[in-house]
Amino acid sequence: MVGVECDKDRPMSDKEQSSDSMVLMVAGRDRSGDLRRDVCAEEMALVDPALRERMADGGRVLALRESVTENDFIDCQLEVLGVRTQLDLGECELPESSSVVGRVVGAVRGFVWKLLRFAFEWMLFHQNVINEQQAITLAHEVRLRKRENEDLRKRLDALESKLISSLTGES
């Protein structure tokens, strides 16, 4: 839970100043001043290195928005897919609870998790091989089609110029 005490009279930090263009209207009233200060202060409490790392990973996906054509998009998507094809069981977090029932349920979950882990590892091994193979095959297929298109374009250009020169030669 996020929540920091905000001193509403303190001067704004550089970070808050930088979001001067922020607009906040609540029920038709401009709250860009007072509510903004609170929102900025709470937002600064959201510093979590692991989350920053995740967000950076998300940023790589968002590079897809910069694609100008569908071809750019496919290139970028292949790159993003190629970065990670492997599933990782370590990322799976078991939910925790501080209540007595929650702790008991958590312990049971942990036990079942350990018990079944070998089966998950087995499935994971196969799934990761399939993911990797698909990503590689797709990238290869795209490369082949591009090469084929380029060859066809060259042949077409050559035929066009040949046709034009033969037509101008006739006239």
Partner 1 sequence: MKKRFDQLLAGYADGDAISQEARMLRDILRDCGFESDIFVPGDSVAKDALVDCRLLEEYDANAVEGLILHYSTESPVNEAFVASNGRRIVKYHNITPAQFFDGFDDDIAAELRRARSGLGAVVSVADEVWSDSAYNASELSSFAIKKSKVLHLMFRVDEFEGGEDAGIKAQFGDGLTNWLFMGRIAPNKCVEELILAYAYYYHTINSRSRLIVAGSQHSCPRYYAMLRLLAERLGLPNVCFTGFVYGGRATLYECADVFVMASRHEGYCLPLVEAMSFDTPVVTRRAGGMPEAMGDAGVMFDNLKPEELAVLVHRVCSDQDLRGEVMESQRRRLDVIHARDVGREVREALGLV
Please report the sign of the dihedral spanned by the C-alpha atoms of residue 103, residue 104, residue 109, residue 114: positive
Of 11, 33, 49, 58, the residue at the interface with partner 1 (CB under 8 A) is: 58
Which CB, 42 or 121, lies closer to partner 1?
Answer: 42
Of 10, 51, 94, 145, the residue at the interface with partner 1 (CB under 8 A) is: 51
Which CB, 24 or 105, lies closer to partner 1?
Answer: 24
Which CB, 9 or 91, lies closer to partner 1?
Answer: 91
User: Looking up tokens 């040949």, which residue turns up?
Assistant: 162
Query: Nearest Cα to 88, choosing from 134, 48, 131, 55?
Result: 131
Chain centroid to Cα 57, Å, comes to 5
61 binds partner 1 (CB under 8 A): yes
65 binds partner 1 (CB under 8 A): yes
Please report the sign of the dihedral spanned by the C-alpha atoms of residue 78, residue 81, residue 82, residue 85: negative
Q: Rounded CA gap, 21 and 23, in Å?
A: 6
19 binds partner 1 (CB under 8 A): yes
**Would you call 51 exposed, middle or buried from its count of C-beta atoms within 10 A (0-12, 13-18, 19+)?**
exposed
Of 46, 100, 115, 119, the residue at the interface with partner 1 (CB under 8 A) is: 46
Minimum distance from residue 138 beta carbon to partner 1 (Å):
13
Applying CB under 8 A, what is the total number of residues that bind partner 1?
A: 41
105 binds partner 1 (CB under 8 A): no
Q: Rounded CA gap, 139 and 78, in Å?
A: 6
26 binds partner 1 (CB under 8 A): yes
Specify the DSSP class assigned to residue 68: S
Would you tell me which residues interact with partner 1 (CB under 8 A)? 1-2, 19, 21-28, 35, 38-40, 42-43, 46, 48, 51, 54-55, 57-58, 60-62, 64-70, 72-73, 77, 80, 84, 91, 95
